[in-house]
Amino acid sequence: MATIKEVAAHAGVTPTTVTNVLRGRGRVGDATRDRVLAAVAATNYHPNLNARALVERKSPTLALMLGCLTNPFYPEFTLQAHLAARSENRFLLICNTDYEEDGGRQFLNEVAGSLSDGVLVANKGNLNLEQFKSIEKRGVPVVISIWEDPAQHPGIPCIAFDSTKAGKMATQHLIDLGHQHIGALIASPAEGIHAGRYAGYRDALEEANLPVKTKQIRFCEDTYEDGYRTAFELLTTNKGMTALFVSNDLPAIGVLDAAAEMGLRVPEDISVVSVTNIHMASQSRPGLTTVAIPTTEMAFEAIEMLLELTRNKPAQPPMKVIEKLRLVERHSTGAPKA
Partner DNA sequence: CTGTTAGCGCTTTCAG
Partner DNA sequence: CTGAAAGCGCTAACAG
Chain residues binding a copy of itself by CB under 8 A are 1, 44, 46-51, 53-54, 59-61, 68-70, 72, 74-76, 78-79, 82-83, 86, 91-96, 99-100, 107, 109-115, 134, 137-140, 224, 253-254, 256-257, 260-261, 279-280, 283, 285
Stretch of residues binding DNA (CB under 7 A), selected from 54-62, 208-216, 281-289, 294-302? 54-62
**CA gap 88, 26 in Å, rounded:** 23
**CA gap 43, 269 in Å, rounded:** 70
Distances (CA, A) of 328 to 67, 195, 258, 274, 277: 26, 22, 22, 10, 8
Give the H or E element holding residue 213: none
If the CB atoms of residues 91 and 313 are measured against a copy of itself, the closer one turns out to be 91
Among 41, 42, 51, 129, binds DNA (CB under 7 A): 51
Min separation Cβ 97 and DNA, Å: 24
Q: Which does 44 bind (CB under 5 to 8 A by kind): a copy of itself, DNA, none?
A: a copy of itself
304 and 84 Cβ atoms separated by less than 8 Å: yes
Min separation Cβ 134 and a copy of itself, Å: 8
Residue 172 region by backbone torsions, left for phi larger than 0, else alpha for psi between -120 and 50, else beta:
alpha
Residues in 31-50 at the binding interface with DNA, rule: CB under 7 A: 31-33, 45, 47-48
- The yes or no reply on residue 28 touching DNA (CB under 7 A) is yes
Min separation Cβ 145 and a copy of itself, Å: 16
- The yes or no reply on residue 5 touching DNA (CB under 7 A) is yes
If the CB atoms of residues 215 and 285 are measured against a copy of itself, the closer one turns out to be 285
Q: Which does 303 bind (CB under 5 to 8 A by kind): DNA, a copy of itself, none?
A: none
If the CB atoms of residues 50 and 126 are measured against DNA, the closer one turns out to be 50
Min separation Cβ 107 and DNA, Å: 17
**CA gap 1, 233 in Å, rounded:** 62
Nearest to 16 by CA among 36, 31, 1: 36
Amino acid at 83: L
**CA gap 187, 250 in Å, rounded:** 9
Burial 88-100 (b: 16+ CB within 10 A, else e): eebebbbbbbeee
Q: What backbone torsions phi and psi does residue 73 show, to the nearest 5 degrees?
A: -70, -40
155 and 317 Cβ atoms separated by less than 8 Å: yes
3-state class (DSSP) for residue 163? helix
Stretch of residues binding DNA (CB under 7 A), selected from 5-13, 173-181, 278-286, 312-320? 5-13
Min separation Cβ 223 and a copy of itself, Å: 9
**CA gap 254, 246 in Å, rounded:** 10
Min separation Cβ 277 and a copy of itself, Å: 14
Amino acid at 46: H
Give the helix, strand, coil percentages of the chain, each rounded to 5.
45, 15, 40
If the CB atoms of residues 134 and 238 are measured against a copy of itself, the closer one turns out to be 134
Min separation Cβ 109 and a copy of itself, Å: 5
Stretch of residues binding DNA (CB under 7 A), selected from 1-9, 218-226, 251-259, 281-289? 1-9
Q: Which residues pair with 158 in a beta bridge?
A: 144, 319
Residues found near DNA in the complex (CB under 7 A):
1, 3-5, 12-20, 22-23, 25-29, 31-33, 45, 47-48, 51-52, 54-57
